Structure 1
Amino acid sequence: MRDSHRDAAAAMIEKARETGGTPIVRSFFDEPTFTATHVVHDPATRKAAIIDSVLDFDQPSGRTSHQSADAIIAYVRAEGLTVEWQIETHAHADHLSAAPYLREKLGGRLAIGRHIKSVQRVFGEIFNEDDRFVRDGSQFDRLMDDGETFELGEIDAMVLHTPGHTPACMAWIIGDALFTGDTLFMPDYGTARADFPGGDARTLYRSIHRLLALPAETRVFLCHDYKAPGRDTYAWETTIAAERAANVHVHDGVGEDDFVAMREARDKTLSMPRLILPSIQVNMRGGHLPDPESNGTRYLKLPLDIL
């Protein structure tokens, strides 16, 4: 079946490479959560987007802080960038978003895929949220649809819906750069798990192959890295060609049924992410912490025997 949105994304990437409309990407790696935050900007206009930011969170004490976000702020100001977008590839289960803090300090519209509403519905029930937690995505400034386009300065950009890891996962394409969120990892590490509520290994395989059909030279920026066995350094940038040739889970020749069998068997061996319960509660709110209670203190719930 023809995928018109994917084909349009491929054409946009090719045009960016031919015309020199390629963005500059500076990445910040948070080792405690193994998360790469990307600041991408148009060199002509200095317009920028921040993708998958991290709010520092010490779980034993329940304290939040802003060292990671402040490093991004310092970089943006030093480079004279104007932030137009605060982007989330999905509602993360392994770190808290710093998007509201960064928006307060630097500006920018907060964007995520439209299917965040289904994540809000599912986890709103899991956490037994009352009616104060609305499930319509209004915590975000813009909900993006599959194939929707926008601009970063003079650079064309587009989003592709890539469900499987979560229902709301979106890949963001800015010029010749692809930001996959958790859908893909470095070739020597593989792919994301698909066992969270709303996840599905078969859907993930098909989403990944949407991305692998993009031009081979496409620069690919990942949200996480865990240093595959035998590799001593963290890495978060690769290419479509490298993923197709060497991804240990989905390289060329791996069929859908084989991938599903591998992914489902592997997921059964994985423990839940350390910060999944606080992360989801915050990130489904667009990075906002829960409202203070009558004593002025904010609380996160710890549901038992759910996940």
Structure 2
Amino acid sequence: MSEHSSRTAETEPPAEGGHTDPGTESFIAHRNLLFTVAYEMLGSAADAEDVLQETWLQWVKVDHDTVQDRRAYLVRVTTRQALMRLRTLRRRKEAYVGPWLPEPLLTAPDVAEDIELAEGVSMAMLLVMETLTPTERAVFVLREVFGLDYEEIAAAVDKNTVTVRQIAHRARNHVAARRPRETVSQAQNRAALLAFQRAVETGDLQSLLDQLAPEVVFLSDGGGVVQAALEPIVGAKAVAALLTAGLGRLAGSASVRAAQVNGHPALIMRIREQVEGVLAVRTEDGLITGLYFVRNPEKLSRLDEQTTLRR
């Protein structure tokens, strides 16, 4: 559970628009970037906020006049804090009940327009990055998503430049072997989700089942708090059976609306106005290869307002 709620107001930067000094203004100006760096490294908005809290606490102790590049400095501090928290999260995830999925964020349309950023924060890519070591993930995010040079990354992860280049090469190869073969198509994802929405609203499953790839994988994250499959469901027949049973229970009782989540089309499902889950998909060659259903209530708190992500 995040410690953010227990922090006091005195440890937080003033809200944007308030009277601030230049050091505080620098932090506020780069806050969305810092949050995005932390979130891509952690896959958790709550933990990313805590990382920003620690970054702010370190920043207020610095003589800001001695910092030549405040953006680079703040990214470096944020990366180091995220690396420490990522190692803690890894231990936490080992005890997690069932599959772990990233915390979904309601995002603005401009995220989808930035192809590199949208791919970097997609459910599919965040899950791929879960297979990297903490340092590999930091180097990959800073290099491939944010375009930092190797010298900046080396300073952020406390490695020399030659080592960082080797880590970047290894991380790129690792991700390339596991990422979708083609850039995830927003149109294909939208079509797949429309079929899912139609199935929930009408009970007509066939148009949805026809879009399942033979090797499709269904992951549902309930965190041991709500009902969810405790193991990945693999294969079109197994996933179709699960969807048939689940959607049969939901038809007529659930409302579903389309939204932009993590820079891609997704569905937010509600029962009696209460958010019950978020569904995202991964499509390749026009077929659904991945279904990601986040049901853990602790991960559904940021779906009422948009989260600003920046590179």
- What interval of TM-score do these two structures reach, taking the shorter chain for normalisation? under 0.3
Which structure is higher in RCO with an 8 Å CA cutoff and minimum separation 6? 2
With the length of structure 2 as denominator, give the TM-score of the two structures. Answer: 0.25
